[in-house]
């Protein structure tokens, strides 16, 4: 009887421990241009770094992947490409603009940003302090001069894929937690594409920075709901993998109590 009860308690204890072998952490665009002093600085972007590092040190993800916005000079998302051009009247910084490049791809709509994350520039470098391990993967996106890519998986026009999906499949990943910069654009779109590809997807809200773009945030929240992406906190995830302290105390007290009762009953 005593042994049986102890076995039940230990089994229940183990049941409560969740394995993250099949889960990936995807860290989106924590690059200088999206942090303080960068050209598209996200308020408090730097504050995410200890939060992200802490997640990594406490949990064993099956795979950790960092994406980098990695644009060639003169990229389609750069306002400077359209500014003061007779061919493109009415283009405004930070606003969506619809145009035809005359390349046979037809009209497209693109939000126009300040120059950012130019390949090999300081602005494109991963922020110092972010812990990257040799086993992590790094995925570049937005490398085509005429097509932007908010998602870590796919270009905005859906034509070409990065190697992200392949990396996840090779690692046997089924569940994805997305963090980084910025919620309204690259974090949100990566999570939505992950869900559409059949992964269980969640955004860790307190490990994600908001650019503060009101229409972008509303539109993204709608996409997130439609794709069934969950929004949770890092606390939710950290508590999922390990037993809580009060629970541990109950277990620690229960085993000797059963032993004691058993000895007295005999």
* Interface residues toward ligand VGL, by CB under 6 A: 29, 34, 40, 69, 77, 113, 181-182, 185-186
Gap between the Cα atoms of 96 and 102, Å rounded: 18
Question: Which residue in the set 46, 69, 155, 193 belongs to the binding site for Zn ion (CB under 5 A)?
Answer: 69
Beta bridge partners, 99, equal: 108
Distance CA 187, CA 203 (A): 8
Distance of closest approach, residue 156 Cβ to Zn ion, in angstroms: 10
Q: Is 103 a catalytic residue?
A: no
Give me the catalytic one of 33, 148, 186, 193: 186
147 token code pair:
């097509």
The CB-of-115 to Zn ion minimum distance in angstroms stands at 10
Partner that binds at residue 210, options ligand VGL, Zn ion, none, CB closer than 5 to 8 Å by kind: none
Active site residue 29: yes
Catalytic residue, chosen from 46, 141, 148, 155, is 141
Q: Which is nearer to ligand VGL, 178 or 186 (CB)?
A: 186
Question: Which C-beta is closer to ligand VGL: that of 82 or that of 258?
Answer: 82
Catalytic-residue membership of 141? yes
CB-nearer residue toward ligand VGL: 48 or 59: 48
E strands within the chain? Answer: 23-28, 63-69, 96-100, 107-111, 137-141, 175-181, 200-209, 230-232
- H-state helical runs in 106-205: 164-170, 188-196
What pairing do the DSSP bridges indicate for beta strands 96-100 and 63-69?
unpaired
Q: Which is nearer to Zn ion, 46 or 69 (CB)?
A: 69
Measured distance between the N- and C-terminal CA atoms of the chain, rounded to whole angstroms: 11
Cβ of residue 183: shortest distance to ligand VGL, in angstroms?
Answer: 8
Which of the listed partners (ligand VGL, Zn ion, none) does 185 bind, with a CB threshold of 5 to 8 Å by partner kind?
Answer: ligand VGL
* Residues 230 and 197 sit within 8 Å (Cβ to Cβ): no
- Minimum gap (Å) between residue 73 Cβ and Zn ion: 13
Q: Give me the catalytic one of 29, 33, 69, 155.
A: 29
Q: Burial letters for 172-187: b for 16+ Cβ neighbours within 10 Å, e otherwise?
A: ebebbbbbbbbbbbbb
- Catalytic sites, residue numbers: 29, 141, 186
Footprint on this chain of Zn ion (rule: CB under 5 A): 69
């Amino acid at each position: 009887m005593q042994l049986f009860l102890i076995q039940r308690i230990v089994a229940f204890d183990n049941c409560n421990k969740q394995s993250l072998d099949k889960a990936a952490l995807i860290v989106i665009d924590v690059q200088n241009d999206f942090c303080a002093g960068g050209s598209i600085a996200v308020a408090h972007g730097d504050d995410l770094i200890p939060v992200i590092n802490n997640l990594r040190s406490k949990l064993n993800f099956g795979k950790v992947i960092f994406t980098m916005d990695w644009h060639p000079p003169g990229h389609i998302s750069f306002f400077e490409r359209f500014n003061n051009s007779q061919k493109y009247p009415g283009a405004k910084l930070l606003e969506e603009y619809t145009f035809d490049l005359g390349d046979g791809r037809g009209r497209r709509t693109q939000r126009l940003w300040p120059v950012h994350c130019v390949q090999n520039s300081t602005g494109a470098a991963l922020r110092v302090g972010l812990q990257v391990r040799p086993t992590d993967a790094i995925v570049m996106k937005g490398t085509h001069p005429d097509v932007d890519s908010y998602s870590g998986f796919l270009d905005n026009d859906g034509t070409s894929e990065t190697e992200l999906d392949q990396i996840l499949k090779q690692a046997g990943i089924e569940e994805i937690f997305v963090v980084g910069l910025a919620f309204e654009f690259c974090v949100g779109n990566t999570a939505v594409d992950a869900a559409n590809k059949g992964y269980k997807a969640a955004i860790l809200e307190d490990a994600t920075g908001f650019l503060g773009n009101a229409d972008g945030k509303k539109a993204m929240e709608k996409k997130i709901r439609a794709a069934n992406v969950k929004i949770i906190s890092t606390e939710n995830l950290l508590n999922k993998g390990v037993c809580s302290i009060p629970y541990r105390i109950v277990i620690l007290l229960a085993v000797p109590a059963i032993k004691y009762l058993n000895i007295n009953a005999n």
